[in-house]
Structures are given as C-alpha cells and as structure tokens.
Amino acid sequence: MRILHTMLRVGDLDKSIAFYTEVLGMSLLRQKEYPKGEFTLAFLGYGPESENPALELTYNWGKDGYEVGTGFGHIAINVEDVYKAVEMARSKGAQVIREAGPMSAGTTIVGFLKDPDGYEIELLSKKF
C-alpha cells in the first residue's frame, strides 16, 4: 500500500496551479473537466504518479472559496535549503507566514507559506 494523493478544494484553479508549479516547482501531471459533475480535477506532483504521491486540486465550478477548517494542519515539502526556498517563494509573490528558522521544539529548520486558498505549506530540510 502507498499514499496516492491528497485532495484540496480550491476556488481559483489557475491561480492554484500557478502557485504549486511556479512557487513550489511541481509539475501539472494531468487535468480533466467533468461537465456532468461541474468540477475539474488537476493532479500535480514531483514525478510520475506511478512512483510518487500527487496533490489533487478540485475546482467545483462556480465556487470561489472554502473554509480551511480546524482539522487540517499543513502539507510538508522537503527542500534543500529552507532559507533560500522561502526567499524564492516570496520573490514569486507567495505569502510567507513563518520565516525560515529552527522550529520551537527542536533544531529542524522550517518555514511556512500559504497557498492562494489559505492552505498552509511547511518547507523543511529534513534529512531522511
């Protein structure tokens, strides 16, 4: 078994795809419209879905936003250098909500961004 994807509902599909591709370096893997259901799905990731988990963005036609909710935490993305990744994201217009630096309860370097729909993205340089 393995994780296939994580789904987020988004209010502006083009803006969200631009954030995940231009700011976070993902590739748009596939996209399909479902006219009968009035929604569009876009799958993004860092490699083929056959080998890597993907992020599914769901756009329900005519819905321009959602409440993030209190149960959702964040999406974590491993980067080489959190300081550089945060600065690069800022230069591309991303909202930085926590500057890069050591986490409060440890030494791991983290930084946080918000995507266009308010979902939090944690950047960390954890070695596995």
Mean pLDDT across the stretch 106-120?
94
Task: Give the angle subtended at the CA of 96 by the CAs of 54 and 77, to the nearest 5°.
Answer: 25
What letter does residue 21 receive in the DSSP assignment?
A: I
First to last CA, the chain: 20
Q: Hey, what domains does the chain have and what are their CATH numbers? A: 5-60 (3.10.180.10), 75-124 (3.30.720.110)
The predicted-structure confidence for 42-70, as pLDDT tens digits, reads as follows 999 999 999 999 999 999 999 999 988 88
- pLDDT beyond 90 at 2: no
Residue 122 annotated among the catalytic residues of the structure:
yes
Q: What percent of the chain has pLDDT over 70?
A: 99
pLDDT surpassing 80 at residue 128? no
The catalytic position among 22, 56, 80, 122 is: 122
What's the mean pLDDT when you consider all of the chain? 94
Please, are residues 31 and 41 in contact by the beta-carbon 8 Å criterion?
A: yes
pLDDT for 20 equals 98
pLDDT of residue 5 exceeding 80, the answer is yes
